[in-house]
Amino acid sequence: MAKIKIAIAVRPGLLARLDEIVARGTFPSRSQAIEDAINEKLERMDRSRLARECAKLDPDDEKAFAEEGMQGESEEWPEY
């Protein structure tokens, strides 16, 4: 996949830490370390958003929906 160059500004201490992990070989480059960090953060935000939305669901309503969906379908299921 093609990549796009961007410019960012970071605190000197943060850059020093980043350079340390790149020097140890944890990441092949600053770019890869930053890309992985952004990806991880976005995935974490997606998971927390999903958790917040799931917390809004009423367990009794969800159970009723599931049971409603199961009624009469078992005869239609193929045998394993």
What b/e string do you get for 22-44 counting C-beta neighbours within 10 Å, with b at 16 or more?
A: beeeebeeeeebeeeeeeeeeee
How confident is the model over 5-19, as pLDDT tens digits? 999 999 999 999 999
Give dist(CA 20, CA 27) in Å, integer: 10
Q: What is the pLDDT of residue 53?
A: 83
How confident is the model over 24-66, as pLDDT tens digits? 999 999 999 999 999 999 998 888 888 888 888 888 888 887 7
Contact 30, 18 (CB under 8 A): yes
For the entire predicted model, the pTM comes to 0.61
Contact 29, 36 (CB under 8 A): no
Going from N- to C-terminal start, the domains of the chain cover 12-69
